[in-house]
């Protein structure tokens, strides 16, 4: 079991809903990945890279509403600026299943 954290620490994680608007292949990445752009409404369009190639084709991702962590430092991945963390779950077979929302919500809404 993981360590228990205080609720105020969890509240510091800025989890927001966004809609994937563009996906590109990312051949420069060390592990198979995509470049992904997400519209977070009032927070703008942000980009990230994600290792989703085992479960998703680029055209399957566009339009999906996802959950992203917006208050982490920018990272450079194979020369590409990753501005947020796209959330998902290990599927137990080497793939990642995106964390999504059940029904559409306004872009940028914060997870509460």
**Position 109 in a domain:** no
- The two tokens of residue 112 are 């509460």
pLDDT of residue 1: 82
Give a yes or no: residue 52 inside a domain: yes
CB atoms within 10 A of CB 32: 12
User: Within a domain: residue 103?
Assistant: no
Total domains in the fold of the chain: 1
3 located within any domain = no
Assign 34 to helix, strand or coil: strand
Per-residue pLDDT, averaged over 83-89, amounts to 98
Residue 88: C-alpha distances to residues 8, 17, 69, 91, 107 (Å): 23, 13, 11, 9, 18
Cβ atoms of 68 and 40 within 8 Å: the answer is yes
Residue 27 lies in a domain: yes
Instruction: Report the CATH number that the domain containing residue 29 is assigned in CATH.
Output: 2.40.50.140
* Helix, coil or strand: residue 32: coil
Which tokens sit at 45?
């369009």
What is the domain range of residue 63?
17-98
Q: Is residue 55 part of a domain?
A: yes
16 pLDDT higher than 90: yes
């Amino acid at each position: 079991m993981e360590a228990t954290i205080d609720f105020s620490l969890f509240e510091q994680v800025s989890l927001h809903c966004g809609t994937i608007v563009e996906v590109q292949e990312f051949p420069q990445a060390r592990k198979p990945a995509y470049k992904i752009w997400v519209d977070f409404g009032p927070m703008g369009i942000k980009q990230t890279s994600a290792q989703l190639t085992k479960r998703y084709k680029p055209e399957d991702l566009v339009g999906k509403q996802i959950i992203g962590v917006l208050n982490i430092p920018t990272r450079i991945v194979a020369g590409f600026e990753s501005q947020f963390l796209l959330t998902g779950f290990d599927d137990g077979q080497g793939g990642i299943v995106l964390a999504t929302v059940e029904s559409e919500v306004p872009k940028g809404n914060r997870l509460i």
